Amino acid sequence: MSKSQLEIEKKYEAPADGTAGPDLEDVPGLSVAEVQDQELDATYFDTEARDLLARKVALRRRRGGHDEGWHVKFSWNGARHEVHFPLLKDRTGMPRAVQSLVSGLTGEAPLVPLAHLATHRRRTLLEDERGEQVVEVCDDDVRALDHSTGRERAWREWEVELADAGLPAEVAEHAFSVLDEALRKAGAAESSSVAKIARALGEDRAFDEAADIPGEEYPTGGKPTAEDPSREKPAGKGSRDEAATPGGTGAPVANGAALVTALLRPHLEELPVLDLAVRADAPDAVHQLRIRMRSIRSILRGLRGSMPRSLSEGIVEGLRSAGLALGEERDLEVIRKEIERQSAWPGLTRAARRELEDLLEEEGRAAHRRAVAHLGSEEHRRVLEELTALVEEPRLRRSVADASPRKLGRRMVEELEGRVRRRREKARAAWRKAGAGEVGPEAVAALGLHVGAEEDAAPGRKVLRRLHDVRKAAKSLRYAAEALEATGVLSQKRAAKVDALRSEASATQSVLGRLMDAGAAQDWLEHAARTLQRRDADRLAVGILLGGMAGEHERRLEDGLRAVGA
């Protein structure tokens, strides 16, 4: 079994004069619970091209210590995550699950030993006044060997790490504060390295200079790694200058083809780490991966009249399939929040709440397995290869081949804005055809939204489908507008208009999204009632929740209709 956790730690340079470890006996609010001496033997792995380190991902096999096994560390959503797998009976063999976890980054390239670290660790566990473990302080003597160059390095460092990333913020802040003071009194200094593996591979330039270690050429031809500031970085929202060109050099986008690359590359570069985060079941990873895929589809949708469909159609369909595969897990996350937000939820019996929570958890695990299976499929791999090829060599139709980036961006916005406008009109037409009259509580209630699948052709369902179409079109406009704004190719006047369109599309998407979330929760509760009936379980709680959700659904439908001008 694997386990995943957040890792919150701080590193220090220990005194170089062989000073004894810090005195931790009189740290305010903390006391020493246990001291352990450990011998750790770690081998780090990567592809020959260092695909993992280029994304700040570390893969190691550690023997010895309290957490020996295979570890995958990666940064995601502002935090450092760590996934653990046990050693196999053959203690040198790599579990297939480890290879699968990082396969979105490594593809079919073999994983080979990168560096070896031997560490003598003195691990001190500290607890609070209630006897609960809060933090550990590690005094590490490290000897490292870089396999690619044969270079050996040795150093001593101190590390402070929270025992539980879920500790209250004030507890964590207090622990780090008092221990920072204690370590600095003992001669500690801020560490120049974010990770042992970075220093072992010569990426900590300050350390190498202080140790008179000469700089070395990277053996695979200078490909940037995790700590190399020359590494190309995807531009984020607001980095208009860096996003103005493929690779973020800050140079102007030269032509329409270069604009396509500048729009798509940042999203493409985020996909591998998001793939890893989804496989590791990191919080919000499924949602964020779907957003990146939807953003790529939105950009390509805006380019539909400017690019041969043969180049993009397979990519769009493939990403749509991936979105659907991931959507089931994401829907269950949203449904859980919607149900727990209901006013009736706290009043249900503990057993009734647990029954529904268990069912959501059971279905969530199954949905996660299906999502991961799709990410590992040959179909998905081909889609990503086609997308990469398109980003590297985009082609436009002859009619727009010579168009400036500004003109092409304008065409994209007009295409997507028109799509939102047409879908709004279709939603209004569906409402008129339903004959419900002026939008209001009574008219909405008369639609009869609480219907089963066999009544999918009912007027209320038709209205909902049209509103869902508006939401998708608004999403496309929003995501494409955000991508365009980041490139900086638009004129000041056009940029102001696009920003207004993006803001309006975002508001529409939000209102209609809340409507769809309520509908999904209502549908799931009906499904839960049938499931519990088959299991001969009590369905009273589901009935209570369904009543509240039906009313909420109708209120949100009224908001949605007003949002499209019905």
Are residues 409 and 497 in contact, defined by beta-carbon separation less than 8 angstroms? no
Split at pLDDT 50, 70, 90, the class of 447 is confident
User: How far apart, in Å, are the Cα atoms of 197 and each of 190, 230, 249?
Assistant: 17, 19, 28
The pLDDT tens digits of the residues spanning 260-295 come to 999 999 999 999 999 999 999 999 999 999 999 999
Which residue from 378, 387, 392 is spatially nearest to 108, judged by alpha carbons?
A: 378
Is residue 244's pLDDT more than 70? no
| 500 alpha-carbon distance from chain centroid | 27
**pLDDT value, residue 18:** 73
User: Domains in the chain, ordered, with CATH?
Assistant: 3-210 (2.40.320.10), 242-563 (1.40.20.10)
- The torsion region of residue 18 among left (phi > 0), alpha (psi -120 to 50) and beta comes to left
**Surface-to-core class of residue 137, CB atoms within 10 Å of its CB (0-12 exposed, 13-18 middle, 19+ buried):** buried
Measured at the CA of 402, the angle between CA 398 and CA 408, to 5 degrees, comes to 95
How far is Cα 339 from Cα 522, in angstroms, rounded to an integer? 9
**Surface-to-core class of residue 462, CB atoms within 10 Å of its CB (0-12 exposed, 13-18 middle, 19+ buried):** middle
Alpha-carbon torsion angle 42, 48, 54, 57, nearest 10: -30
How far is Cα 169 from Cα 84, in angstroms, rounded to an integer? 25
In a 3-state reduction of DSSP, which class is residue 533?
helix
How far is Cα 435 from Cα 443, in angstroms, rounded to an integer? 9
For residue 39, give both structure tokens.
Answer: 């011998």
How far is Cα 486 from Cα 248, in angstroms, rounded to an integer? 11
How far is Cα 11 from Cα 143, in angstroms, rounded to an integer? 17
Kindly state the average pLDDT of the residues 32-60. 96
User: How far apart, in Å, are the Cα atoms of 286 and each of 332, 364, 387, 563?
Assistant: 11, 12, 20, 28
Which residue from 263, 204, 200, 258 is spatially nearest to 229, judged by alpha carbons?
A: 204
In a 3-state reduction of DSSP, which class is residue 344?
coil
The pLDDT tens digits of the residues spanning 175-226 come to 999 999 999 999 999 998 878 999 999 999 999 998 888 876 544 444 434 4
The pLDDT tens digits of the residues spanning 363-409 come to 999 999 999 999 999 999 999 999 999 999 999 998 888 889 999 99
Kindly state the average pLDDT of the residues 468-478. 97
Which helix or strand (DSSP H or E) is residue 542 part of?
helix 540-563
Q: Model pTM greater than 0.75?
A: yes
